Amino acid sequence: MPSDQKDLGGVEPTEAGGRSSRVDDRARRAADELHARDRALVEQVLSGDLDAFNRLVELYQDYLFALTVRVVRDREAAADAVQEAFLNCYRNLARFRGGSFRSWLTRIALNAATDILRVRKRRPADPYPEWEDDAWQPPADESEGPERTTLLRSRHTVIAAAMEHITVDQRKAIVLFDVEGYDYQEIADMTGVSLGTVKSRIHRGRLALRDLLLPDMELLRD
Amino acid sequence: MDRHQPALPDGTDHDHHDRLLIARSLDDGLDAVEMSQAERLIQSCPGCASLVGDLRSVSTAVAHMPAARRTRDFRITAAQAAAARGSALTRLLRGARLLPGLDPPRRQIMQPLAGAAIAIGLVLVVIGSGWPSTGPAGPGGSAGTAATHEGPVTAAGATSDTPESAPPPRTSQGGAVEVGDDASPVATIGPDVAPFASDSQAEPDRSAESEDPISEGSGPSPTPSPRATEAVDPTATLPPNDTAALPSQRPTPAPVTTIDDASAWPGGDTGVAIVGLVLAGVGVLLLLLRPIARRLEGR
How do residues A160-171 score in pLDDT, each as one tens digit? 899 989 999 999
Residue A148: what pLDDT? 83
Residue A56: what pLDDT? 96
- A123 and A31 inside one domain: yes
Domain ranges of chain B: 14-63, 82-128+268-299, 139-266
A214 at interface of B, judged by CB pairs closer than 8 A: yes
Contact A162, B54 (CB under 8 A): no
Here the ipTM equals: 0.78
Q: How confident is the model at residue B26 (pLDDT cuts 50, 70, 90)?
A: confident
Check residues B142 and A39 and name the one with the higher pLDDT: A39
Q: Give the domain-ending residue among A81, A112, A129.
A: A129
Residue A78: what pLDDT? 92
The CATH number given to whatever domain includes residue A121 is 1.10.1740.10
- A70 and A32 inside one domain: yes
Is the pLDDT at B39 greater than 80, yes or no? Answer: yes
Q: What is the mean pLDDT of residues B94-106?
A: 56
Is the pLDDT at A48 greater than 50, yes or no? Answer: yes
- A112 and A177 inside one domain: no
Check residues A179 and B152 and name the one with the higher pLDDT: A179
Q: Give the domain-ending residue among A129, A159, A192.
A: A129
- A7 and A86 inside one domain: yes
Q: What is the mean pLDDT of residues B79-84?
A: 87
Which range of residues forms the domain containing residue A176? 132-222
- A91 and A157 inside one domain: no
A131 at interface of B, judged by CB pairs closer than 8 A: no
Amino acid at A43: E
- A174 and A210 inside one domain: yes
For B69, half-sphere exposure in the C-beta direction (CA atoms, 13 angstrom radius) is: 9
How do residues A50-108 score in pLDDT, each as one tens digit? 999 999 999 999 999 999 999 998 889 999 999 999 999 998 898 888 888 999 999 99
Whole-prediction pTM value?
A: 0.57
Nearest to A186 by CA among A11, A37, A55: A11
How do residues B161-194 score in pLDDT, each as one tens digit? 444 444 444 444 444 444 444 444 444 444 444 4
Total of domains in chain A: 2
- A109 and A218 inside one domain: no
Q: Give the domain-ending residue among A99, A129, A159.
A: A129
B92 at interface of A, judged by CB pairs closer than 8 A: no
Residue A62: what pLDDT? 95
Residues of chain B with Cβ-Cβ distance to A204 below 8 Å are 20, 23
The CATH number given to whatever domain includes residue A221 is 1.10.10.10
CB contact under 8 A, B75 and A136: no
Residue A37: what pLDDT? 94
How do residues B227-278 score in pLDDT, each as one tens digit? 444 444 444 444 444 444 454 455 555 555 444 444 444 445 788 889 999 9
What are the residues whose beta carbons fall under 8 Å from the beta carbon of B268, sequence distance 6 or more?
B197, B198, B200, B201, B202
3-state secondary structure B236-286: HHCCHHHCCCCHHHCCCCEEEEEECCCCCCCCHHHHHHHHHHHHHHHHHHH
Contact B172, B201 (CB under 8 A): no
Q: What is the mean pLDDT of residues A17-43?
A: 79
Q: How confident is the model at residue A20 (pLDDT cuts 50, 70, 90)?
A: low
What are the residues whose beta carbons fall under 8 Å from the beta carbon of B191, sequence distance 6 or more?
B171, B175, B262
- A75 and A18 inside one domain: yes
- A123 and A142 inside one domain: no
Q: What is the mean pLDDT of residues B284-289?
A: 82
- A47 and A105 inside one domain: yes
Alpha-carbon distance of B147 to B160, in angstroms, equals 11
- A124 and A214 inside one domain: no
Q: Measured between CB atoms, which of B68, B71, B75 is closest to A57?
A: B75
Residue A209: what pLDDT? 95
- A44 and A98 inside one domain: yes
Question: Hey, which residues 152-211 in chain A have their CB within 8 Å of chain B?
Answer: 155-156, 159-160, 163, 174-175, 178-179, 184, 192, 199, 202-204, 206-207, 209-210
Q: What is the DSSP string of B94-148?
A: HHTT-S--SS-GGG--HHHHHHHHHHHHHHHHHHHTTGGG--PPPSSPPTT--EE
Share the mean pLDDT of chain A. 82
Alpha-carbon distance of B186 to B204, in angstroms, equals 16
By DSSP bridging, strand B188-189 and strand B254-259 are parallel
Secondary structure (3-state) at B150: strand
